[in-house]
Structure 1
Amino acid sequence: METISYPRVWNLDKIFMGGSKSSLFLEHINRLEALLHELEGSVKSFFTPLSTKEVIKVVHLVENIATIRLYLSQANSFITCLFAQNPKDQDAAILRGKVAQKESRFEKELSKVKKILTNTKEEIWENILEIEELQEYRFILNEWRENADKNLSEAELNLISDLMVDGYHAWGHFYNNLVSSINVNIQINGKEENLSVGQAINLRSHHNEEVRKEAHYILESTWKEKEELFSKIINHIAGFRIQVNNKRGIKSVIEDPLKKNRMKEETLNTMWTVISKYKQPFSNYLKRKAEMIGGPSMKAYNFWAPVTKSNQEITFGEAATLITEHFSQFGTELEGFVRQAFYEGWIEAEDSPNKSAIPFCAGFPLTGESRVFMTFSGTFLNVLTLVHELGHAFHNHAMKSVNGLNKRYPLSIAETASTFSEMIIFDAAMKKVNSKEDKLFILDEKLKRSVMNFMNIHSRFLFEQRFYEERNEGIVSADRLNQLMEESINEAYAGSLEQPSIYSWVWTPHYYITQSPFYNFPYTFGYLFALGIYAKAKEKGKDFEKDYLNLLRDSGSMSVEDLVMKHLGEDITLEAFWEKGMELCVKDAEEFIKLTSS
């Protein structure tokens, strides 16, 4: 395979020259301050519209709010990148504090606007939405009106917003810094190496079972040592969220995540119902893979183990060439985008012990770029992680032409784009297989994704659901958290996983993302939705890229039910939609069993 030398360290200077000491970033914060000052003045003189003559004020506010959101997103993404590359960056911590204060002020003003719009009479409201400048924001504005905190006074809204900065969100930041500061010593090929958590987690796909096993138990021991500290963090995050929900009159902790994902509870329940029906084929796959490795049942530390010696190592340059080649088969815009990402240093892939453990994609809407962060250690799993994050980045790219408020899309659709990108790689790789060993390798990687979405993500959902039920009654101890985690894993995996990590609640970062409770079911939704989209793509070939871009661009201004109906013609509240995707995954499991039956 012909390879080109691509940068493995990202270029942040193109965004703001000078890192955490950037004078350009300080200018950005000053501009943000001016925009906020303007918004605060506008809101002060904004009252419930009594006629359409006052619509110009609404238009002005919407435009101002949209601009501030873009500035905040640009700033937060930059700070996230600074901390990922150096978790000990003290200057970045100071910048984060400044931006957090401004974000708090923005949220206060936005809450006031929503509440004022809520009081607008229905007839006047409908007339306002017919104004040309606001028609494209009809969905967002109705969403604001419906989701406004009607039960809270302005003083209560202000207090909650203030407490979020140094209380609620601070716990999430503390968690990330704590995990990034942890290093472990692990024996690899007779040599002890000091690794970050991210590097140690990467060892789960190591070809040597002893290395996988040692990494698993050393990490478990590390989490056990710090479990009391992590239990305090997760309890405080959940406790704050519960209190705010009570103030807002929200009775179910799942209500807010569903609203943020623009999804009906009926849709979510139908999805889990179908998944629960189809556990057995994936249990069969886990059992067969365990037998191939040399045991009667699948041990947790062997789940990511390779089943063959095929394609065990791949360089970053080879990965870039592979991804670009396969993406080019789908469409010219995707190919051009990914070439730009590799050539211009959008990706931080260095295998270093002094960086964050959590892969992510950060979007910079003002400059129309993204940055991808990961630790690339040469495995096919790393390639899939890279492709997954590039899928997020392509979604950001698609939204460049979308106006203002409609750029923000729910997590469920964000995970659709990332999963769709993985499927391009899987499908292209499967077409090129020349041997049974290669086919098994790819099937195994695909099935790992299915198990993660139908079993692992399900366990996360069950755990979070049960944890919040108990947290409503008071603090949940570390021992109880371990027990809840173990019970949830056993149920979600239908008892097919041996020696699971009872500390999954510690090292799974999604539980600590303060902006997004229940950041689990969007992955499974995105996975099955992406299967449906990809089936359409295979039918139409390169002609589908235009349709795909239109779908992504609609993702910020529609409910997921309406989005799927518009672009796929499917009703996702019915089991039939979900069963189509499940059946494709079941075929993979059956094919794996068939190929390994001899």
Structure 2
Amino acid sequence: MTKTHRQVWDLEAIFPGGSESERFQAFLAALEEDITQFQKDLDGKTVPKSEDELFSIVHVLVRAQEISKRVRESGAFVSCLTAQNTKDEDAKLLTGRVKQLSSSYSSVMTSIDELLLGLDENLWSTLTDLNEIKPLVFNLEERRKMAKDKLPGDKEKLIQGLSVDGYHAWGDMYNTIVGRMSIEVEEDGETKQLSVGQAANRMSSKDRETRQLMTGKWEKAWGDEAELFANTLNHLGGFRLQTYKERGWDDFLKEPLDINRMQKQTLEVMWDTIEKNKPVFTKYLRRKAEMLGLERLDWTDVGAPVTNAAEEVSYDDAADMIVDQFRSFSPKMADFAQKAFDERWIEAESRSDKRPGGFCTSFPVKEQSRIFMTYDGSASNVATLAHELGHAYHQHVMNDLPQMAQRYAMNVAETASTFAEMIVADATVKQAATHEAKVQLLDDKLNRSIAFFMNIHSRFLFETRFYEERKQGLVSVHRLNEMMLEAQKEAYCDELGSYSPHFWASKLHFHITGVPFYNFPYTFGYLFSMGIYARAEEEGAAFEERYVDLLRDTGRMQVEDLAQKHLGEDLTSPEFWQKAIDLVARDVDTFIDLTDK
């Protein structure tokens, strides 16, 4: 018998009392005190001049990692509080306090970077040869290199201090505006107010009239607030560009590429290979339009079901299916997923006042994760659930590593999540009971490919062009809409009958301050995971341990080195990307064959 799982997560196990938690207040107070004292101690420390003095650096690094865990713990908790209830005013205040703490911790790390940068080459070599430091060598060398690229420590600390109200505050403003938004609908003779998260789910309705109606309301809702959203985007973009200018960086892709530990050549080769393969995917879009009786798909039709076989999947059935499919690849991964369901690590309930979208966040002190989404029973929601569990498993296998070596980048983070999603998607297609169900499930799978190859590409094109124009001054709402449409038409090869001009406003990722260019890592992760998935199919159960070894290296290697070591692949060459795309093209061919009249 299927076990019943609650769809509301358990945050009490982290800090009891929610945004009024006394334990969390005490945790923050102790953390503030420790960071302040740590900074004072570092202010009085000089760069070691002898080998005997190096052990003080070891102590500093141990202390920094312990505090880092607590900073991440506090950040994860407030992100959960604000996501589960966008109207929680106490949570918003806590978010501001945690961001201030995070800024103070960044200043501490800047002081540590100065110490590392000040070591002469002989002492640096001695330090990195110490047993306690060897597991951190990649991360410390990375910090040292990045510190050389930045301004002197006092100026970097000034930037970090100013960023709380001059940069991150614009991201907070975006969340505040979204939190107060609602979209009015008429249902069963009464007027209802939907959160933007609930409204987003309605836009994938089986009924085209419902989709069209909701899309119109959606565009209007974001358009009504467009001036405010243009402010958040312009000012956080302006802060970034000014910071880059002061550092002498002339390429706004430098920071996102450094963060993702990848070369520009890798990024360019990936997009070039995708561009050359676009005709394969436009063929799919045309067949889908034909099946829906349309001349061309509209923006709202791209993710629409093509048959009536798109049955809803209950949350409990989705949980059982995900655990079963994970087990076919990795018993450890399956046991982990079961634990997440049983211990209520997942917030999936559909209710008002939740923020839209989904995420996974980790609590390094508790060594737990929490997953956020709004579940409505669609195949897309099942995929999201598997995707986020992939993130959580990735963190789980790294929990015993030093904190610095756990900090993997977004592109490889998306690899684990997409791999998990693929296991479930592939299995459901293969096990489909009817021809109609197989067509629908294959369509759901290809929808995700279109998202990575076309939707994400449009975001990358838009953001690249936005930053080019933002260098010259503020960019108007009219121009932002225009740029968004241009990017979407180019990315979709102008195959659609309509687009989403306010997508730049409705997509949270453009307004996140933590990571610039929150787009291309998704496509990288998708294609990289395709390569891993192909290897897993070839090697079967023997690949499980190799997969875990790859995940454990994601926080301590450049992605090009990671691929070479674990897959024997060159990411700067189109061959790897082409092989991955060929796997998706195979799905397109199957879809075309299955739907041939």
Interval containing the TM-score (normalised by the shorter chain): over 0.9
1:259 matched to which residue of 2? 258
Q: Distance in 1 between matches of 2:529 and 2:473?
A: 39
User: What whole-Å deviation, never above 9, does each CA across 1:412-464 have from its counterpart, x for those lacking one?
Assistant: 01100110011110121122123221221121011111111111111100100
2:307 matched to which residue of 1? 308
Letter of the 1:419 partner, please give it: T
1:66 matched to which residue of 2? 65
2:319 matched to which residue of 1? 320
* Contact 2:256–2:517, Cα closer than 8 Å, also in 1: yes
Q: Distance in 1 between matches of 2:299 and 2:190?
A: 24
2:466 matched to which residue of 1? 467
1:231 matched to which residue of 2? 230
1:534 matched to which residue of 2? 533
Q: Distance in 2 between matches of 1:497 and 1:60?
A: 59
After TM superposition, give the deviation of residue 91 of structure 1 in Å: 1.6
1:595 matched to which residue of 2? 594
Q: Structure 1 stretches of 5 or more lacking a match?
A: none
* Contact 1:115–1:149, Cα closer than 8 Å, also in 2: no
2:129 matched to which residue of 1? 130
* Contact 2:110–2:157, Cα closer than 8 Å, also in 1: no
Q: Distance in 2 between matches of 1:182 and 1:5?
A: 33
1:506 matched to which residue of 2? 505
1:51 matched to which residue of 2? 50
1:86 matched to which residue of 2? 85
Please say if 1:179 is aligned against 2:175.
no
Q: What TM-score do you get using the length of structure 2 for normalisation?
A: 0.98
After TM superposition, give the deviation of residue 192 of structure 1 in Å: 4.3
Q: Which moved more, 1:433-442 or 1:187-196?
A: 187-196
SS in 2 for 1:186: strand
User: What whole-Å deviation, never above 9, does each CA across 1:564-585 have from its counterpart, x for those lacking one?
Assistant: 1111110111000000001111
**1:149–1:168 CA distance, 2 compared to 1 (3 A):** farther
After TM superposition, give the deviation of residue 150 of structure 1 in Å: 5.3
Q: Give me the identity figure in percent.
A: 42
After TM superposition, give the deviation of residue 187 of structure 1 in Å: 3.9
Letter of the 1:420 partner, please give it: F
Q: Distance in 2 between matches of 1:484 and 1:380?
A: 32
Please say if 1:447 is aligned against 2:423.
no
Please say if 1:518 is aligned against 2:517.
yes
After TM superposition, give the deviation of residue 149 of structure 1 in Å: 5.5
Please say if 1:557 is aligned against 2:565.
no
Q: Distance in 2 between matches of 1:259 and 1:150?
A: 11
1:19-418 → structure 2 map (5 Å cutoff):
19-148=18-147, 152-188=151-187, 192-418=191-417
Letter of the 2:336 partner, please give it: F
* Contact 1:42–1:61, Cα closer than 8 Å, also in 2: no
* Contact 1:443–1:592, Cα closer than 8 Å, also in 2: yes
User: What whole-Å deviation, never above 9, does each CA across 1:26-67 have from its counterpart, x for those lacking one?
Assistant: 221133124313421331233233233221121111111111
Count of aligned pairs: 597
After TM superposition, give the deviation of residue 221 of structure 1 in Å: 0.8
User: What whole-Å deviation, never above 9, does each CA across 1:96-134 have from its counterpart, x for those lacking one?
Assistant: 222222211111121122133223222321222111111
Q: Distance in 1 between matches of 2:111 and 2:39?
A: 10
2:547 matched to which residue of 1? 548
Q: Which moved more, 1:286-295 or 1:186-195?
A: 186-195
Q: Distance in 2 between matches of 1:224 and 1:521?
A: 26
**1:128–1:527 CA distance, 2 compared to 1 (3 A):** same
1:563-582 → structure 2 map (5 Å cutoff):
563-582=562-581
SS in 2 for 1:425: helix
User: What whole-Å deviation, never above 9, does each CA across 1:170-224 have from its counterpart, x for those lacking one?
Assistant: 1111212211221111245766432111111111221111111111110001111
After TM superposition, give the deviation of residue 72 of structure 1 in Å: 0.7
Q: Distance in 1 between matches of 2:372 and 2:288?
A: 31
SS in 1 for 2:132: helix
1:423 matched to which residue of 2? 422
Q: Which moved more, 1:72-81 or 1:158-167?
A: 158-167
Q: Distance in 2 between matches of 1:361 and 1:557?
A: 21
* Contact 1:258–1:264, Cα closer than 8 Å, also in 2: yes
After TM superposition, give the deviation of residue 469 of structure 1 in Å: 0.3
Q: Distance in 1 between matches of 2:199 and 2:91?
A: 26
Q: Distance in 2 between matches of 1:187 and 1:547?
A: 53
SS in 1 for 2:415: helix
* Contact 2:418–2:525, Cα closer than 8 Å, also in 1: yes
Q: What TM-score do you get using the length of structure 1 for normalisation?
A: 0.97
After TM superposition, give the deviation of residue 273 of structure 1 in Å: 0.7
Q: Structure 2 stretches of 5 or more lacking a match?
A: none
Letter of the 1:463 partner, please give it: F
After TM superposition, give the deviation of residue 385 of structure 1 in Å: 1.2
Q: Distance in 2 between matches of 1:177 and 1:6?
A: 31
Q: Distance in 1 between matches of 2:389 and 2:526?
A: 16
After TM superposition, give the deviation of residue 386 of structure 1 in Å: 1.1
Q: Distance in 2 between matches of 1:383 and 1:587?
A: 23
